[in-house]
């Protein structure tokens, strides 16, 4: 089964492609519904950075595909899992290969 997705930069994402020439990544979707407003603000500062400090997106070179959707290199998966665990966010993950 193949799943074709395109991000805002036009990069085609294909799930379950068995070619070894493609870069592996993980697409995360997350929910912040459980956080109060003040913690949502703190979460976004940790995610995107603030006052010259880099957030996890810039530090790990993550691409934000949508409002609550991130494209993460497979070798950064553990760090992102720990980040979401710290914030107690529910996530869904989908491993993909980039063409």
Report the run of H or E that residue 63 belongs to, with start and end.
strand 63-66
pLDDT of residue 3 exceeding 70, the answer is no
Indicate the pTM of the whole model. Answer: 0.76
Q: What is the pLDDT of residue 63?
A: 94
Residue with tokens 């979401």: 84
pLDDT of residue 68 exceeding 60, the answer is yes
Report the run of H or E that residue 39 belongs to, with start and end.
helix 37-48
Q: Give backbone dihedrals phi and psi of 80, rounded to 5 degrees, phi first.
A: -70, -40
pLDDT of residue 81 exceeding 70, the answer is yes
Q: Supply the range of the domain harboring residue 39.
A: 3-98
Number of structural domains in the chain? 1
**Strand 12-15 vs strand 90-98: parallel, antiparallel, or unpaired?**
antiparallel
Q: What is the pLDDT of residue 75?
A: 94
Span 41-55, pLDDT tens digits: 999 999 999 999 999
Contact 76, 62 (CB under 8 A): yes
Tokens (6 digits) for 70: 């991130």
Q: What is the pLDDT of residue 1?
A: 40
Q: What is the pLDDT of residue 19?
A: 54
Q: What is the pLDDT of residue 23?
A: 84
């Amino acid at each position: 089964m193949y799943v074709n997705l395109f991000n805002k930069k036009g990069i085609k994402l294909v799930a379950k492609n068995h070619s070894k020439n493609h870069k592996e990544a993980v697409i995360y979707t997350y929910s912040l519904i459980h956080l109060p407003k003040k913690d949502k603000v703190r979460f976004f500062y940790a995610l995107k950075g603030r006052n010259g400090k880099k957030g996890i997106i810039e530090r790990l070179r993550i691409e934000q595909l949508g409002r609550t959707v991130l494209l993460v290199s497979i070798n950064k998966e553990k760090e992102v899992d720990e980040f979401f665990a710290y914030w107690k966010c529910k996530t869904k993950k989908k491993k993909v290969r980039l063409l």
